[in-house]
Amino acid sequence: MGMEIERKFLVASDGWRRGAGPGQPMRQGYLAAGSQVSVRVRVAGSRAWLNIKQAQSLTVRREYEYPIPLADAKELLEHACESGVVEKTRYRVPHGAHVWEVDVFHGDNAGLVVAEVELQSEDQPFECPAWLGRDVSQHARYLNHALARHPYRLWAGTAD
């Protein structure tokens, strides 16, 4: 069993771009998504995965991921996702002892940019880059499955 412990932040500036590797476009959709369990299909380039997450909290999840044929993933994205498809480009940005993943969203979530860092434990210290904004780890609306159901473009005038 895999365990994912992650913190998520809004991005306050483009300073992350100086250290970023090349971006990887991704499309992902949810075959099932509830408050505790989500089942996701993701396509990144010529590769695809099926992913199952079980929430322990907003920052800790059991995670299982399996490669699947690209054609199957594309068919699932087209016909089996219960809500919208999330489109983004992911950049890996080394900073301190960690590699941050910066997601620049497109489509219905255009304008949203978040950074995530994976940790070994919930209390593991990490260095925050200067380009980070507010910590949104405890805000469920920033989870990708929530963005598929209620995209960023619909948030106008709403608070966390």
Q: Identify the domain containing residue 62 by its residue range.
A: 2-154
159 is a domain residue:
no
pTM: 0.93
43 is a domain residue:
yes
Q: Which residues are the active-site residues?
A: 30
Our count of domains for the chain comes to: 1
Nearest to 4 by CA among 53, 68, 43, 66: 53
72 is a domain residue:
yes
35 is a domain residue:
yes
Q: What is the CATH number of the domain that holds 37?
A: 2.40.320.10
53 is a domain residue:
yes
Which runs of E-coded beta strand occur in 12-158?
24-33, 37-44, 47-55, 60-67, 86-95, 98-105, 113-119, 132-135
Per-residue pLDDT tens, the chain, 160 aa: give them. 589 999 999 999 999 999 999 999 999 999 998 889 999 999 999 999 999 999 998 899 999 999 999 999 999 999 999 888 999 999 999 999 999 999 999 999 999 999 999 999 999 999 999 999 999 999 999 999 999 999 999 996 666 6
146 is a domain residue:
yes
